[in-house]
């Protein structure tokens, strides 16, 4: 299991390389083992791999705590039985938000063992968030009687782009206090296990195709509409990271060439029209207390016409950006998540209108739009899935 | 080797499936054989595959005409020697244009054996194009003394989107006379070999990472600016086809919400601003004879200020669309091809300005822009590469 983001990054890019082949072979072995324990000879027969290859990979997986072996006999001959560890191998999923922290513990096979959630102060420093995550993890392990050594890895989601060349949070993050932090290595030091870091929208996409109802979808986009707007991509069945890891920045698609100035320094970006921050500004004029995204959902569902208009306008702008996106990557499914997911069709309908209006006809007709059903857990579940993915376990 | 587009389409999407594994294993074997003949036992040792698996795959490749086998001895024991066929296995690349047809013959290992080019009348029917391709291919085979049975497959490029569900040319094609034609099966009947069909821009992308100077680039976009504007994508090292095969339709990105009506039925699409058709209209007002793209290149290089302004405006609009694209998929390289490639920096500079203006800073700074160096041969070479790809030969 690769210990750093950069080394893992290169995996899906070099399908012909030795490490990618090893990874694929390990995945085949785990897929066989998910249906029950098996001898090494059976694994060799089922996968088409040589017995030496199977034996090597099993040894590596055993060292990583993923499998256990025991001597047995098969057809009267000595053999080695291999089985996947369950609670003996636990993945941690951490979701760092602007003002919250969520931690889940998951066993192989995508079962949640335990989870917890705490609030963090707005504007907290990265170190505070990391310290809180360590405490919450220790608490969950203790409460569930799980040994610290059972943790095979931790995934962490950050609401902002991560530059995969340096492993640091890049500019444009919703957590400006975290920009420039080498989040990967700070977490590895604090948690003392292999760590995988990703953008929250990427983890949303991963959670949909692993834990969620979209499992088996090869080309999926997860669009998170919140204080910022970002997207995660699953392309050809794999999470997609591009050249330096900054992908899905659909919030900075230019909608109005001479529109409002965006926090990215550009003008008229989608975020200046359709983020919850903009909706709150539009709807809060002259009011004393700031609205929350939950207020927007409640007021819109209750029929408030100004809120419905603001949501409709935002949805149309999002749909326009999605039309251009769909013309480019022709996804099978676009899942919308974030704090407005409770709006359901009140938000999906204008998005769909915008999409169909701006996409090439056959693309607009065949792109399926859906609200995320994983809610606020999507990112933490996706973070745990990141660990499974790197262990070669692709889905439930 | 899969005989239809649809069966091959599913390949990169299911990395864990039996056929994908077989394909990957075949690719490993071909990679070993590219450095010279080898015994089956050596292939097994080099790839980590069991001897039974190697033997099965070699049998399939032999039946497909890709390899030859002969008995030999190794360390005093009987063995089977395997070698790749060269001119015994020829791939055909066909480029269908609005008014031209190009055919190349290529041997395994990406060597061009022969090529030819003819002009076709504007508005020709698909059947005329197919018949001309058959004649040109027969002529090339005869002139080079290559037996018809040596053709292991043909790739064909069409300037328009191809709906991979049906294998037909979809609406929005630059060849309206070809819309709805089941080009895949018509070509298979006419050529009597496995055929792979793709969009011309996709083939441009493939040619850059196989024949061209961008080999080894995992995330590349090929942008073809001509009568239409379309893009081909290589993502995570593989050609990317999306859900139904209609990808890279960047020509229909909305630039001006209430701009000119586009042939797609939308308004203000990039094509209405930056295609050669639009440039010719803008520059041809009041003139008796229509300009050609070659005239635009010549006049612009000669310093004609109106032409330079039109090219600059087109480049800025293209750059804006590329900024949004780069924010989404963060490519390493964007290659610009098509009949204006001779403009060099006169076109690349405004594109770069538009890209940097509209992309998230780190994305704008790290995306490399280049003109295609393969010129008018890009599509035909890419079409031949399509055959190699399906045979598991990924590059020179």
Which residue among B219, B245, B252 sits closest to A327, beta carbon to beta carbon?
Answer: B252
Q: Give B365-384 pLDDT, tens digit per residue.
A: 999 999 998 988 999 999 99
On whether both A53 and A103 belong to a single domain, the answer is: no
* CA of A247 vs chain B CAs: smallest distance (Å): 5
In this structure, is residue B388 part of a structural domain? no
Contact B48 A48 (CB under 8 A): no
Q: Do A48 and B44 touch (CB under 8 A)?
A: no
Helices then strands, counting H and E runs in chain A, come out as 14, 15
Task: Check residue B105 and give its pLDDT.
Answer: 96
Count other Cβ atoms within 10 Å, centred on residue A37: 16
Nearest to B50 among A49, A163, A366 (CB): A49
With CA atoms as reference, the chain A residue closest to B324 would be A253
Regarding whether B103 and B25 lie in a shared domain, the answer is: no
Supply the pLDDT for residue B15.
40
- Is residue A166 domain-resident? yes
Query: Helix crossing, A51-63 with A18-34: angle to 10°?
Result: 80
* Rounded-to-integer distance, Cα B36 and Cα B40, Å: 13
pLDDT on residue B1: 30
- pLDDT for res B201: 93
Whichever domain contains B177, its CATH number is: 3.30.420.40
Q: pLDDT (tens digit, 0 to 9) for every residue of chain B, 396 residues total?
A: 333 233 333 333 334 456 557 766 776 787 677 667 899 999 999 888 999 999 998 998 888 777 889 998 888 889 999 988 766 678 999 999 888 999 999 987 788 999 999 999 988 888 999 999 999 999 999 999 887 777 888 999 988 888 888 878 877 666 777 888 888 889 999 998 889 999 999 999 999 999 988 988 999 999 999 988 999 999 999 999 999 999 999 999 999 888 999 988 889 999 999 999 999 999 998 888 889 999 999 999 999 999 999 999 999 999 999 999 999 999 999 999 999 999 999 999 999 999 999 999 889 999 999 999 898 899 999 999 998 887 666 655
Say what the ipTM of the complex is: 0.80
pLDDT at res. A86 = 65
Residue A122 C-alpha, separation from nearest chain B C-alpha, in angstroms: 25
Residues above pLDDT 70, as percent of chain A: 90
Q: Are A229 and A270 in contact (CB under 8 A)?
A: yes
Closest CB from B28, B253, B357 relative to A16: B28
Q: Domain for residue B261, yes or no?
A: yes
Q: Is residue A396 part of a domain?
A: no
CA distance B82 to B1: 18
Where is the domain boundary, A54, A84, A114?
A84
- Taking CB atoms and an 8 Å limit, are B49 and A52 in contact across chains? no
| E strand or H helix that includes residue A53 | helix A51-63
How far lies B353's CA from each of A86, A324, B316, B345, B388, in Å? 54, 21, 7, 11, 37
- Domain identity same for B360 and B305: yes
Among B60, B84, B108, identify where a domain stops: B84
Could you say which of A53, A236, A264 has the minimum Cβ distance to residue B48? A53
Which residue among A48, A248, A324 sits closest to B254, beta carbon to beta carbon? A324
Q: Does residue A282 come out as left (phi exceeding 0), alpha (psi in the -120 to 50 range) or beta?
A: alpha
Q: Do B236 and A235 touch (CB under 8 A)?
A: yes
Closest chain B C-alpha to A136 CA, distance in angstroms:
34
Q: State how far the Cα of B205 lies from the Cα of B200, in Å rounded to an integer.
A: 9
Please answer yes or no on whether A247 and B325 come within 8 Å at the CB atom.
no
Query: A71 with A101, same domain?
Result: no
Q: Is residue B378 part of a domain?
A: no
| Residue pLDDT, tens place only, B103-125 | 999 987 788 999 999 999 988 88
CA distance A140 to chain B (A): 34
Best of A44, A242, A244 to substitute, by most chain B Cβ atoms within 10 angstroms, is A242
Note whether B309 and B360 are same-domain residues: yes
User: Is there a single domain that holds both residue B334 and residue B228?
Assistant: yes
With an 8 Å Cβ cutoff, are B329 and A242 in contact?
A: yes
Helix/strand/coil for B113:
strand
Whole-number pLDDT of residue A172: 64
pLDDT in tens, chain A (396 residues): 333 233 333 333 334 456 557 766 776 787 677 667 899 999 999 888 999 999 998 998 888 777 889 998 888 889 999 987 766 678 999 999 888 999 999 987 788 999 999 999 988 888 999 999 999 999 999 999 887 777 888 999 988 888 888 878 877 666 777 888 888 889 999 998 889 999 999 999 999 999 988 988 999 999 999 988 999 999 999 999 999 999 999 999 999 888 999 988 889 999 999 999 999 999 998 888 889 999 999 999 999 999 999 999 999 999 999 999 999 999 999 999 999 999 999 999 999 999 999 999 889 999 999 999 898 899 999 999 998 887 666 655
Q: Are residues A257 and A122 in the same domain?
A: no
Cβ contacts of A359 on chain B, cutoff 8 Å: 252
Predicted confidence at residue A11, as pLDDT, reads 31
Looking at the structure, tell me whether residues B125 and B21 fall in a common domain. Answer: no
pLDDT digits (tens, 9 = 90+) for A281-320: 999 988 888 899 999 999 999 999 999 999 999 999 999 9
- List chain A residues with CB under 8 Å of B252: 327, 359-360
How far, rounded to the nearest angstrom, does the alpha carbon of residue B235 sit from its chain's CA centroid? 14
CATH code (residue B32): 1.10.10.10
Q: Tell me if A314 is assigned to some domain.
A: yes
Range(s) of the domain holding residue B353: 213-373
Q: What is the pLDDT of residue B27?
A: 67
A315 belongs to a structural domain? yes
- Tell me, yes or no, whether A104 and A180 share the same domain: yes
Top residue of A229, A243, A267 to mutate, by most chain B CBs within 10 Å, is A243
Q: Under DSSP, is residue B372 helix (H, G, I), strand (E, B) or coil?
A: coil
Tell me if B396 is assigned to some domain: no
**Average pLDDT, rounded, for chain B:** 87
pLDDT at B396: 55
Residues B68, B48 share a domain: yes
Q: What residues of A are in contact with residue B316 (Cβ under 8 Å)?
A: none
- Domain count for chain B, please give it: 3
How high is the pLDDT of residue A315? Answer: 98
Sort out which chain A residues have CB atoms less than 8 A from B48's CB and list them: 21, 25, 49-50, 52-53
Residue A13 to residue B360, Cβ atoms within 8 A: no
- Pick the closest to residue A86 from A125, A144, A45 (CA basis): A144
- When CB atoms are compared, the residue of A21, A50, A247 closest to B330 is A247
Are both B136 and B251 inside the same structural domain?
Answer: no
Of A84, A112, A135, the last residue of a domain is A84
Instruction: Check whether residue A174 and residue A230 sit in a common domain.
Output: no
């Amino acid at each position: 299991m690769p210990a750093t983001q950069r080394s893992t990054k290169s995996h899906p890019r070099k399908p012909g390389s030795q490490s990618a082949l090893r990874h694929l072979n390990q995945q085949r072995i785990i897929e066989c083992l998910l249906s029950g324990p098996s001898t090494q000879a059976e694994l060799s027969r089922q996968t088409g791999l040589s017995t030496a290859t199977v034996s090597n990979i099993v040894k590596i997986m055993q060292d990583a705590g993923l499998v256990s072996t025991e001597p047995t006999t098969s057809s009267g001959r000595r053999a080695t039985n291999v089985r996947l560890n369950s609670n003996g191998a636990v993945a941690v999923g951490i979701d760092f938000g602007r003002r919250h922290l969520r931690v889940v513990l998951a066993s192989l096979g995508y079962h949640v063992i335990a989870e917890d959630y705490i609030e963090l102060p707005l504007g907290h420093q990265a170190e505070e968030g990391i310290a809180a995550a360590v405490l919450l993890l220790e608490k969950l392990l203790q409460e569930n009687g799980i040994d610290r050594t059972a943790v095979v890895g931790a995934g962490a989601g950050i609401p902002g782009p991560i530059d995969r060349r340096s492993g640091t949070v890049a500019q444009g993050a919703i957590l400006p206090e975290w920009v420039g932090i080498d989040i990967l290595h700070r977490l590895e030091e604090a948690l003392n296990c292999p760590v995988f870091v990703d953008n929250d929208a990427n983890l949303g996409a991963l959670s949909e195709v692993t834990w969620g109802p979209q499992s088996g979808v090869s080309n999926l986009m997860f669009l998170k509409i919140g204080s910022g707007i970002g997207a995660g991509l699953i392309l050809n069945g794999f999470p997609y990271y591009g050249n330096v890891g900054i992908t899905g920045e659909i919030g900075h698609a230019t909608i109005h060439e001479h529109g409002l100035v965006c926090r990215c320094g550009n003008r008229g970006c989608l975020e200046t029209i359709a983020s919850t921050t903009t909706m709150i500004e539009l709807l809060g004029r002259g009011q004393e207390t700031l609205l929350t995204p939950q207020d927007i959902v409640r007021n819109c569902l209750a029929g408030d016409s100004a809120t419905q208009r603001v949501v409709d306008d935002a949805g149309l702008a999002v749909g326009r950006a999605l039309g251009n996106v769909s013309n480019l990557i022709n996804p099978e499914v676009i899942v919308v998540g974030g704090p407005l997911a409770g709006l359901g069709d009140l938000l999906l309908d204008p998005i769909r209108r915008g999409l169909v209006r701006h996409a090439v006809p056959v693309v607009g007709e065949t792109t399926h739009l859906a609200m995320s059903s994983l809610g606020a857990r999507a990112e933490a579940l996706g973070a745990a899935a990141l660990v499974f993915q790197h262990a070669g376990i692709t889905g439930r």
